[in-house]
Amino acid sequence: MKLFVGNIPYSMSEDELRQTFEEHGQVTSCKLIMDRETGRSKGFGFVEYSSNEEAQSAMDTLNQTEVQGKVLVVNEARPQDKKPRTGSRPPRRRF
């Protein structure tokens, strides 16, 4: 099961996030989302567990808990949309 983790402190590293969630079971993947331009954390990420029971335990325990002065929001992650990304600009023309 994949969990969405929001309101992560900007100073928290991906390793610290993993350690926080490993206390509740075996984490198979952990991803902290970073801003491409600044390289700074966007304040949210995803943690995936091998079993649904461990993920549910982590969600129940860590949701609304304070970590480094911020209250975490932990929910089951929604499936990612498979829509193609289209910008608002028309394609470039070559002359």
Q: Which residue ranges make up each domain of the chain?
A: 2-76
In CATH, the number for domain 2-76 is 3.30.70.330
- The residues near 1 (Cβ < 8 Å, ≥ 6 apart) are 48, 49, 51, 52, 55, 56, 76
Q: How many CB atoms lie within 10 A of CB 4?
A: 15
Rounded CA gap, 49 and 47, in Å?
7
> pLDDT value at position 92?
76
Q: What is the dihedral of CA 7, 58, 66, 74, to 10 degrees?
A: 20
pLDDT at 63: 97
Instruction: Give the bridge partners for 5, in sequence order.
Output: 45, 74
Alpha-carbon distance of 28 to 24, in angstroms, equals 12
Q: What is the pLDDT of residue 86?
A: 61
* Mean pLDDT of successive 10-residue stretches along the chain, which has 95 residues: 96 95 95 94 96 95 95 93 66 74
Cα separation, 43 vs 35, whole angstroms:
10
Q: Which runs of consecutive H residues, i.e. helices, occur in the chain?
A: 14-22, 52-62
